[in-house]
Chain A
Amino acid sequence: MDYRLPLFVIIPLGAAFLIPLLAKLFKRAGEWMAVLSLLALSGLAVYFVFLEKGARVYEVGGWRPLDGIPIGIYMVLDGLSIYLLLVINLIGFLSAFYSLSYMKKFTAESLYYTLFMLMIAGMNGLVLSGDIFNLFVFMEIAAIASYALVAFGIEKEELEASFKYQVLGGISSLLILLAIGLLYWQSGTLNLADLADVLRTNSNPVFSLFIQTLLIAGFGLKTAMFPFHAWLPDAHSSAPSPISSMLSGVLIKAIGAYVLMRLFFNIFALSYDIALVLAIIGTLSMVIGVLLAVGQWDFKRLLAYHSISQMGYVVVGVAMGMMILARNGDLQVASLAIAGGLFHLMNHAVFKSLLFLNAGAVEYAVGTRNMKDMGGLADKMPVTAATSLSASMAISGIPPFNGFFSKLIIIIAAVQAGYYVLAFLAVFTSIITLASFLKMQRFTFYNKIKSSWNGTTEVREAPFSMLFSMVVLAVLCLALSLLAIPSVRDAVLTPAVNALLQAGGYGTVILGK
């Protein structure tokens, strides 16, 4: 019973509600409380990844399993959860540090930090939760906080984008609630380990297929997969930049891709049809996302469409692994595909949030998001231009940046498994991504400098806190390529892959302890 697990939820929740109280007394207490608590959480996550490995469980209230049946609420930390926790808390800390300067232009800053900490609490709780209804509740906490954060600037476009996001997100949450109700009806339990047990022994296959379809629809919308991607360009481009980086870099992974992986690998029996559906929608997102991104002239809208395409890569990698496992294929190739998908998840979190932070820095200095109105910023904003260049090379898959290695692993796994069409489409998407980002770099940073923006001719570099986060993320872009080395990979990535591959492993963590 490790008491440090609930700290991941209690610290951000406590901080979220202390911030309005402290902001009444001290002016800047709210910001520093948020940043310091996130620093503590990322330190805890790093500690759990590198120093104290192994799966652990926390029984809330001390309710131990009775006769082998888990009757309480459990928080489970296994390889996949700690991998996601590392991503969430680290990117959260860097975004919060960035927003120390960026949010000076807004009013009601303490409310911003409250909502930010609530979003982090929701995502942490979701990744740690051991039963499916707690997962739903934490997902709703994170989602509602993100709806409010998208509308934070209260301009026309932000409100419209937030409304669209809320209606679509609300419908998907209702579909997920329906699926949870049907799962409870079929199995009589809500605990994930117990659910896996019950579904293995007696399950109506048609009913199971219906529930799985509802879950793909619900969580597919949260992950912004192809038929359900319409909310993402509006929401992610209209939000304030640190929130865009959190939404695109962390939220769609924690409440989307993580839950899909957890439910379809560990809970339901592996089925080839569902894996094929996931692979198809992943491929479609990959290709359609990048084709829609090429014609964009709004900086952040372009980045949002690329998010759809890169999340397609993650889902394709994981779904390929599922397809191979469902057919009892080669375990090595399956684990390579899943490792590629998970590696790309972390890489995308890093370089996409860096790109959004860059867009925020450019908007802070110049005042516009339209790339036709920008140009020649590389002389005036050297650090922003350098970090933006490294992020663009990372997302296009150029060695030695991290994007190259993760895309290479996915393509090699596709070729080894015999899915040549998938491999070709992955390479094709990568080439078009490169073209799109070359265009972005040229029009934003390297064209002829304009005479005036916004009435001023003076364009200055961004403030220190914004530069700090961007430089740290750019260094991480290079450093994460080291994850391809076997020794580092075994510490970080292999526990996550193994947590997915051992289907019954989740149960033994709760019941075995």
Chain B
Amino acid sequence: MKGITVIVRKVSQLLAGVVFLYGIYIIVHGHLTPGGGFAGGAVISGAFVLVILSFGSEIQKLNKSETRSSLLESTGILLFLLIAAAGFFLGSAFFFNFLPKGTVGKLLSAGFIPLFNIAVGIEVAAGLLTIFLALLIYKDEEDR
């Protein structure tokens, strides 16, 4: 991590925000354009991985980030199950679409599919980040 120059660091600082925003765009428009939860989540995790790769990090901060992203991943899936169960309590079956469906092509339409996309996006981004951090921490432990 020592040989990264100032140019790479500056550009990655500027780009990480743009990549993050692009990932959010893909997730939220999942019911209108191709993409959705998984693709957007993968792009968001790319933003975090870019910053970690170009700046480096100490092992304690990586450990703390890994526990936090692992808990965020569990929270994402529990949110998913919560929305599914809400479909049961507010309607007739699990995964029943209980929000109003709106008109085709608008952002706030298609019931609860945007909510599912957001939950899956959080989960995938946190999951991929956890995998990356776990492998990085393992390599660091092995180097000692």
| A78 contacts chain B at the CB level, 8 A cutoff | no
Interface residues of B in 89-137 (CB under 8 A from A): 91-97
**A61 engages B71 (CB within 8 Å):** no
CA distance A59 to B96 in the complex (A): 10
**A21 engages B71 (CB within 8 Å):** yes
CA distance A59 to B87 in the complex (A): 13
The residues of A that contact B57 with a CB separation of less than 8 Å are none
Q: When A3-B94, A17-B78, A62-B93 are in contact, do A10 and B71 touch as well, CB less than 8 Å? A: no
**B78 engages A18 (CB within 8 Å):** yes
Which one, A14, A59, A60, A61, contacts B78 given CB within 8 A? A14
| B74 contacts chain A at the CB level, 8 A cutoff | yes
| B32 contacts chain A at the CB level, 8 A cutoff | no
Q: Please count how many residues in chain A sit with their CB below 8 Å of the partner chain's CB atoms.
A: 16
CA distance A62 to B84 in the complex (A): 12
Q: Please give the distance in Å from B126's CB to the nearest CB on chain A.
A: 12
**A20 engages B71 (CB within 8 Å):** yes
CA distance A61 to B88 in the complex (A): 9
**A14 engages B81 (CB within 8 Å):** yes
Q: Please give the distance in Å from B130's CB to the nearest CB on chain A.
A: 11
**A58 engages B81 (CB within 8 Å):** no
**B74 engages A60 (CB within 8 Å):** no
Q: When A10-B81, A10-B84 are in contact, do A60 and B94 touch as well, CB less than 8 Å? A: yes
| A170 contacts chain B at the CB level, 8 A cutoff | no
Besides A14-B78, A14-B81, 15 other A-B contacts (C-beta < 8 A): A1-B93, A6-B94, A10-B81, A10-B85, A18-B74, A18-B78, A20-B71, A21-B71, A58-B93, A60-B93, A60-B94, A61-B87, A61-B93, A61-B96, A62-B96
CA distance A58 to B93 in the complex (A): 8
**A17 engages B97 (CB within 8 Å):** no
CB<8 Å pairs between A and B, sample of 26: A1-B92, A1-B93, A3-B88, A3-B93, A3-B94, A6-B94, A10-B81, A10-B84, A10-B85, A13-B77, A14-B81, A17-B77, A18-B78, A20-B70, A20-B71, A20-B74, A21-B71, A21-B75, A58-B93, A59-B93, A60-B94, A60-B95, A61-B96, A61-B97, A62-B92, A62-B96
The residues of B that contact A14 with a CB separation of less than 8 Å are 78, 81
The residues of B that contact A24 with a CB separation of less than 8 Å are 71
The residues of A that contact B88 with a CB separation of less than 8 Å are 3
CA distance A20 to B69 in the complex (A): 12
Q: How many A-B residue pairs have CB under 8 A?
A: 43
Closest 9 CB pairs between A and B? A62-B93, A61-B95, A17-B74, A17-B77, A62-B96, A62-B92, A6-B94, A20-B74, A60-B95
Where the two chains meet, the residues of B that have a C-beta atom closer than 8 Å to any C-beta of A are 70-71, 74-75, 77-78, 81, 84-85, 87-88, 91-97
The residues of A that contact B70 with a CB separation of less than 8 Å are 20
CA distance A10 to B84 in the complex (A): 10
In the complex, what residue of chain A is closest to B70 when comparing beta carbons? A20
The residues of B that contact A6 with a CB separation of less than 8 Å are 94
The residues of A that contact B94 with a CB separation of less than 8 Å are 3, 6, 10, 60-61
Q: Please give the distance in Å from A196's CB to the nearest CB on chain B.
A: 24
The residues of A that contact B95 with a CB separation of less than 8 Å are 60-61
CA distance A21 to B70 in the complex (A): 9
CA distance A6 to B84 in the complex (A): 11
CA distance A156 to B92 in the complex (A): 51
Interface residues of A in 274-305 (CB under 8 A from B): none
CA distance A13 to B85 in the complex (A): 12
Q: Please give the distance in Å from A441's CB to the nearest CB on chain B.
A: 43
Most buried by B among A3, A14, A17, A21: A17
Q: Please give the distance in Å from B106's CB to the nearest CB on chain A.
A: 22
CA distance A18 to B71 in the complex (A): 10
The residues of B that contact A20 with a CB separation of less than 8 Å are 70-71, 74
Q: When A21-B75, A60-B93, A61-B93 are in contact, do A13 and B87 touch as well, CB less than 8 Å? A: no
Q: Please give the distance in Å from A41's CB to the nearest CB on chain B.
A: 16
The residues of A that contact B78 with a CB separation of less than 8 Å are 14, 17-18, 21
The residues of A that contact B92 with a CB separation of less than 8 Å are 1, 62
Q: Please give the distance in Å from A63's CB to the nearest CB on chain B.
A: 8
Q: Please give the distance in Å from B66's CB to the nearest CB on chain A.
A: 12
Chain A, 1-21, contact with B by CB distance < 8 Å: what is the 0/1 string?
101001000100110011011
CA distance A6 to B85 in the complex (A): 10
In the complex, what residue of chain A is closest to B95 when comparing beta carbons? A61
Interface residues of A in 10-52 (CB under 8 A from B): 10, 13-14, 17-18, 20-21, 24
**B87 engages A21 (CB within 8 Å):** no
CA distance A1 to B88 in the complex (A): 12
Q: Please give the distance in Å from B83's CB to the nearest CB on chain A.
A: 12
The residues of B that contact A13 with a CB separation of less than 8 Å are 77, 81
The residues of B that contact A59 with a CB separation of less than 8 Å are 93
The residues of B that contact A60 with a CB separation of less than 8 Å are 93-95
**B91 engages A62 (CB within 8 Å):** yes
Q: Please give the distance in Å from A9's CB to the nearest CB on chain B.
A: 9
Q: Please give the distance in Å from B124's CB to the nearest CB on chain A.
A: 14
In the complex, what residue of chain A is closest to B84 when comparing beta carbons? A10
In the complex, what residue of chain B is closest to A61 when comparing beta carbons? B95
CA distance A59 to B78 in the complex (A): 22
Q: Please give the distance in Å from A96's CB to the nearest CB on chain B.
A: 19
In the complex, what residue of chain B is closest to A114 when comparing beta carbons? B74
In the complex, what residue of chain A is closest to B76 when comparing beta carbons? A17
